[in-house]
Each structure stands twice: as C-alpha cells, then as structure tokens.
Chains A and B, each alone.
Chain A
Amino acid sequence: MATQDTGKTRRGFLVDMARTACGVALLGLGVGLYSRQAASLPAEALRPPGALAEDDFLGACVRCGLCVRDCPYDTLKLSELGANVANGTPYFIARDIPCEMCPDIPCIKACPTGALDHGLTDIDQARMGLAVVIDQESCIAFHGLRCEVCFNVCPVRGKAITLDMLHNPRSGKHALFIPVVHSDACTGCGKCEKSCILDEAAIKVLPVHLAKGLLGRHYRLGWKEKEQAGGSLVTPDTEHSYTLPEGMRYDYEGRGLITEESAGAAPYGDDPLETLKRGRGGL
C-alpha cells in the first residue's frame, strides 16, 4: 500500500491509489473466499430454533450472543475463533446438550436482528434438523432388543418417532420394535441423540438437507391415487384363469390349488408306493 509522502505529483498520486486499491482488493478476495469456506456448517452443529437458512443466517446474525444468554439450559454456544463453525455464531451439539424446546422460545425473543425468525411462535414447528436412525447395525432395536429410549424421550412423543413392529427372523417368534422418524413432526431438538444408550449414538440429528430424500415429482403411488379417486384409474387386470381338471379350482388369495370334496378319490395318494402298487389301472 501507499507511503504517505509520495502523494504530491499526479503520477505519485495514481501509483498510491493503485497500490492501496490492489492491496485492499487482495484483502477483499481473501476474506471473500474465506467466507465461502466458513459457510460450510459441520453436520453435527445445529442452529437455534427459527434460524434462517444457513446462507441467510450468516448475513443476518450479528454474533451478539443474546440468544446464548437467554437459553435457560446452556444449550447454545457461540463459536470461538478457530472452531469449525462460522466464527461467533450460535450453535449447539445435540449429543452434548440438546434443545429443551421451551414453549416461549426465549432465544428467538432475544435475537435483535431476526436471524432467528420471530415468526416462529410454536416450538413444535421448529426444524433445527431431522433425526435419522443412521446406524441400523448398532441400534439394538434392530437386534430384537427392547430399548425405545429415543421413542420415549422424544418431546413430540409418538409423532416424531414411532415404533414399527416387525417380525424377528432370528428368533422366529418375537417382534422387532423399530424406531422410525417422521419428518412432519421431528423438530431436530436432539433429545433422542443425547439419550441414545450406545457409546456413539445410532440416532443422530442431521441438517434437514442432508437427512431428507425427495421422491421424484412424477411418482404416483397407485393405492393412494386409487383412494383419492375412489376407484382404480387404470383398466383392471383380467383375472388369470388356469385350465384345471374337473372338480378343482385355484384360490388366488392364498390357499392355492383346491380339490373339491365331491371329486372322489385323488388320483395320487399320500403314499407314492401305494400308487405304484395300484399300477396303471389305478389311474
């Protein structure tokens, strides 16, 4: 950049300006590029309830920490310099201290800038992330053991996480109680992740954009369409028919081949030897 005493001639002035401009432009480039990197929030860092989408959040949050101060459970932290969350912004780690979902949402009320959306007044509508049963190999429910801790601690109990009962093929007679997360009710508070009994949680809250799939818009689920329309929307399949000997019919619903009682003796008995002994005349 420029020295102070050379601004006297026009040339000196222009060189001065060019130097300063170049230096400052380099600084701007550096900071700009760094800001792109700093925008990549690690998946385990969750924003407070009502936080705007990450890009918007980084433009609206002034990093004052008032949300942190008004959080009654010390859930929220401000990122310190050198941490991998954009410097000075509030976040929480579900496995450390999850969000307790205060009904009056004090963190949002404290936010002076609207980086936490003041339009969010019902904490059940918060979407801080989405819980995912991310490791089915280690979740003990998948081994047929009864746990259900995540199901029971969920503040939106019975809605955000339900237990699906499935057949246990290992024992053959027990049920698996499989936790299933429902994105229409999960707030991403992280209580399930916090209380998962494993050494490393098998259920984790992820940012919604990582956790959520999206069905192609052209997909139609036939049975739902049928229900909506009150009847099949395509020509019904003609029922397949077998050509069967007299006195026999086929049950498509599951029983399979049925021999009517009135059809007389079966051509083959239970004992194949007996059939052979009867010889050809038996047929």
Chain B
Amino acid sequence: MQPGKHPGSDAVATKGWWKAHQWLLLRRASQFGILGLFLLGPLAGIWIVKGNIASSLTLDVLPLTDPYLALQVLLAGHSLEVTALIGAAIVLVFYLLAGGRAYCAWVCPINIVTDAAAWLHQRLGIKRTAQFARHSRYWILGVTLLLALITGTLAWELINPVTIVYRGLIFGLGLAWGLLLAIFLFDLFVSRRGWCSHLCPVGAFYSLLGRYSLLRVSAVARSKCDDCMDCFAVCPEPQVIRPALKGEAQGVGPVIRSGNCTNCGRCIDVCSKDVFRFDHRFDNSTSKPIAQKTEVMP
C-alpha cells in the first residue's frame, strides 16, 4: 500500500485535513453528543434526556419514540399511550425531512463501529469478502415485523444490536460488548459493510422512511468530477452515487435520490473537486449552472 494514496488523500492535500473531514467530525460529534446527553443523567446527575433511543423524554416535555419500535408494538397487537404516539410522530416527521438514514449516520452508535471496520478493511487491503444482496435488509425488516405480528412480542428487540448497544451504554452493558465485537469482526472479515448496508432492518426501515426526504446530497458540480473514485470508496452505499454523478447524459438530475443514502456527507469531504454538497431534493434540474447557494444543514 502506498502511503498517502488512501481515499480522500487528494482532498486532504487540496482542502486541508479539517475541511476534508468536516462532515465526518460533525457526524461523530453528533453521535457522541447525543449519547453524551443520555449519559449526563446517570453519570453526572444532570437529567436533560431520560430513557434511550427506543423512547426518551427531553427536559420532561419532549417525548421521542423510535417509529420502528412503535410499529412493532402496534403489530404485536397493542395500542400506545399518547406520549409514544406523539414521540413517534415527531421522529417520523424529522427523518422525513432530514433523510431517514441520517439516523444511521448521525445517531446510531453501531455506525461508529462499522465505519471503523470498513476503514480497517481498506487499510488491511482485504479484497474478497462475502456479499449479501442489498435488498436482504428489506426481507429482514419484513421478518422482524412478521415476528411481532405472529409472536405478539417484540421478538426482534431481543437481538437488535442497535437498541441493545445503546441501552447497554446507558443502563449497563451486560454482554452487549460481545455483540459490538461480533459486528465489528463480521464487517471486517466476513462481509464488508455487511451489517449497516446489507442486513440491518433498522436501516432498512429508515431507508424507506427517507425515500422522499427533503435534505439530500447533490453532485451539483458533477461536471468537475475527475473520476478519482474516492467517493465510491468511502461511501457505505456506493450504488446511490452513480445515477446522480454520471447521469447527466441520461438526463438524470444531480440529487442523490436513493433512500439508502445515509446523508453522511463523507463524499463531500473526500472530493477534492467539491462536486458534492447538501441540497434539497427539488433542486434537481439537469442543466443547472453551478450556482453558489447556501448550504442546507442537516
């Protein structure tokens, strides 16, 4: 491996390290920040947020509930108290606007682990790993919902790594570290980006939710692309980039419209030509001059 030839090294050279890691750092700040808010109560006795990502109460007024969990409860044949319904509605609306899988990139703790595995995977130069079909996650999503319907319990929650790890970090880890390690090793040696981008039903749920979301990444300056492929190398869902980046000839707009895009913004970071930026989904005309617009923050 040649040092200095990793994806993003060009961007570091032209834009500087900070600018080439801007969104990554913001994302980590968001992930750790949210976790920190939850931990502030049990560790420091400052109760800003109570609960965990399954359902929480902020400042004793704002309820937030994971709509995926709420859906499982409803399928299991139970009604919800108004608090959970309001909480789920708020979260639902937020991700409808911000991009469903922004949950994966900006909130989910597993993402940190799988990003680390993918990074190490690249550094170690592991070439061949098993590949699952990307639609597997929708099947698994279907099975988790079906299980709730058949068993009348939240069966998936018994092994759902996302909620188990988050809850573990706040309420006591138990053996949840083993689950984290398993996912790390799975992503590193068994299947590259296997968990988050191919199997996780939580991600699948938020993919569907984010199908029509307002906030999107746009390859707005795609004519400047020099085919370095760095964005494809870092993207957890590289299949979403091609239509937007290379679709000009087919009359496809520059906005990445796939619900699988996690709005992580890593492609913006690693592009030395500044092809990408955050935009809204309707800013998608094909023959667009490269105008300077204010960035839409996530």
A residues contacting B by CB (< 8 A) are: 1-4, 7, 16, 20-21, 23-25, 27-28, 31-32, 34-36, 38-39, 55-56, 58-66, 68-70, 77-83, 86-88, 110-115, 118
B257 to A: closest C-beta gap in Å: 21
Other than the given A59-B73, A60-B73, 17 more pairs (CB < 8 A) read: A31-B159, A32-B147, A35-B151, A35-B153, A58-B152, A62-B55, A62-B73, A64-B54, A65-B167, A66-B57, A69-B41, A78-B167, A79-B174, A80-B174, A87-B164, A112-B80, A114-B78
B183 to A: closest C-beta gap in Å: 13
B240 to A: closest C-beta gap in Å: 14
Q: Known contacts being A63-B167, A66-B55, is A4 close to B134, with CB within 8 Å?
A: yes
Query: In whole angstroms, how far apart are the Cα atoms of A63 and B139 in the complex?
Result: 24
Query: In whole angstroms, how far apart are the Cα atoms of A55 and B152 in the complex?
Result: 7
Q: Known contacts being A81-B179, A88-B157, A88-B167, is A62 close to B147, with CB within 8 Å?
A: no
B146 to A: closest C-beta gap in Å: 7
Residues from 116 to 165 in B contacting A, C-beta threshold 8 Å: 131-136, 139-140, 142-144, 146-148, 150-159, 163-164
Q: What are some 28 contacts across the A-B interface (CB < 8 A)?
A: A1-B132, A2-B132, A20-B133, A20-B136, A21-B139, A24-B136, A28-B146, A31-B158, A35-B153, A38-B158, A59-B78, A59-B152, A60-B73, A62-B66, A62-B69, A63-B52, A63-B54, A63-B157, A64-B55, A65-B52, A66-B50, A77-B171, A81-B178, A88-B164, A110-B50, A111-B81, A112-B57, A113-B81
Residues 78-92 of chain B, each 1 if its beta carbon lies under 8 Å from chain A, else 0: 111101100100000
- Total inter-chain residue pairs, C-beta < 8 Å: 170
A24–B140 touching, CB < 8 Å: yes
Query: In whole angstroms, how far apart are the Cα atoms of A195 and B95 in the complex?
Result: 50
Residues from 60 to 85 in B contacting A, C-beta threshold 8 Å: 63, 65-66, 69-70, 73, 76-81, 83-84
B56: A residues at CB distance < 8 A: 64, 66
Other-chain residue from A2, A80, A112 in contact with B133 (beta carbon distance below 8 A) = A2
B175: A residues at CB distance < 8 A: 80-82
B143–A1 touching, CB < 8 Å: no
B243: A residues at CB distance < 8 A: none
A69–B51 touching, CB < 8 Å: yes
B151: A residues at CB distance < 8 A: 32, 35-36, 59
B71 to A: closest C-beta gap in Å: 11
A64: B residues at CB distance < 8 A: 51-52, 54-56, 65
A136 to B: closest C-beta gap in Å: 37
B168 within 8 A of A: yes
B173 within 8 A of A: yes
B41: A residues at CB distance < 8 A: 69
Other-chain residue from B55, B144, B157 in contact with A87 (beta carbon distance below 8 A) = B157
